Amino acid sequence: MNPSQPNAISEHPGKRTSGARALQKGQQTKQIIIDAALGLAEQIGLEGLSIGALAEVTRMSKSGVFAHFGSREELQISVIREYYQRFSNEVFFPALNAPRGLPRVRTLFANWMKRVAIEIQSGCIFISGAVEFDDRPGPVRDALANSVQTWLAAMHRAVVQAKQEGHLVPDADEAQMAFEIHGLILALHYEARFLKSPGATARANTGFENILLRYGKPRIPGLPHC
């Protein structure tokens, strides 16, 4: 029998199992490459990524790495997806346990700050990638911009909910508040990572409290604070 026939595998259950195993192993290998690529991209940027550099880091052959992605762009996009997933798992999803409204906005900001604290050392793909791809249209830029926009939209949605819950002053501009919060994060990353300025983390936290002083409803004495 010719094993290249479509039904060849189904007639040999053993082969099907080994096929599934090969698929699983392939996915594991791909994940190892993506992990290495993410580590490399945080250090040298998405544009620094190359099939060759990754082959060296993972001690695989170039053709072995290439087989999993097909192109450098696909590799870059896989790294962006992986980063976005980790970011969501650390920053976004745990905040859903906090009550809707200002408590959730506070938790999102606190989780974001924790992520930045790590990225002051390691670098941040959302920030370095923006500089690398701000004038390079194409699928990598789109993947990166979509990831950032999805996250910023989630933050904005939490602010909108805070207003709906009556935690903000009635004229609070939700997009404005989200913009100002984003600015604090960017200033923290810039001043702490590049300028090595001491005190930037405290300033970002104080800046957040200042934003709440402006947009949050004044605290009613005796009631728990959001």
Q: CA 52, CA 72: separation in Å to the nearest integer?
A: 10
Taking the complex as a whole, how short is the minimal distance between the CB of residue 159 and its own copies, in angstroms? 13
Which one among 115, 157, 203, 217 touches its own copies, defined by CB under 8 A?
203
Q: Does 166 bind its own copies (CB under 8 A)?
A: no
Q: List Cβ neighbours of 161 (8 Å cut-off, separation of 6 or more).
A: 100, 101, 104
Q: Does 35 bind its own copies (CB under 8 A)?
A: no
- Which two tokens mark 28? 């594991």
CB-wise, 10 or 210, nearer to its own copies? 210
Q: Does 174 bind its own copies (CB under 8 A)?
A: no
- In the block, which residue shows the tokens 């004044």? 218
CB-wise, 67 or 202, nearer to its own copies? 202
Helix, strand or coil, per DSSP, at residue 214: helix
The DSSP code for 168 is: B
Residue ranges in 87-126 that form contacts with its own copies under rule CB under 8 A: 123
Query: In one letter, which amino acid is 188?
Result: L
Which one among 195, 220, 221, 222 touches its own copies, defined by CB under 8 A?
195
CB-wise, 79 or 184, nearer to its own copies? 184
Which one among 193, 212, 216, 226 touches its own copies, defined by CB under 8 A?
193
Q: Does 149 bind its own copies (CB under 8 A)?
A: yes
Which one among 57, 110, 145, 154 touches its own copies, defined by CB under 8 A?
145
Q: CA 26, CA 124: separation in Å to the nearest integer?
A: 28
**Torsions phi, psi of 169, nearest 5?**
-65, 150
Q: List Cβ neighbours of 62 (8 Å cut-off, separation of 6 or more).
A: 51, 52, 55
The DSSP code for 218 is: P
Q: Does 214 bind its own copies (CB under 8 A)?
A: yes
**Torsions phi, psi of 4, nearest 5?**
-85, -5
- Which two tokens mark 220? 């009613």
CB-wise, 194 or 221, nearer to its own copies? 194
- Which two tokens mark 182? 């984003």
Size of the site for its own copies (CB under 8 A): 41
Which one among 110, 127, 154, 160 touches its own copies, defined by CB under 8 A?
127
Residues making contact with its own copies (CB under 8 A) = 43, 45, 123, 127-128, 130-135, 145, 148-149, 152, 173, 175-176, 179-180, 182-187, 190-191, 193-195, 199-200, 203-204, 206-207, 210-211, 213-214
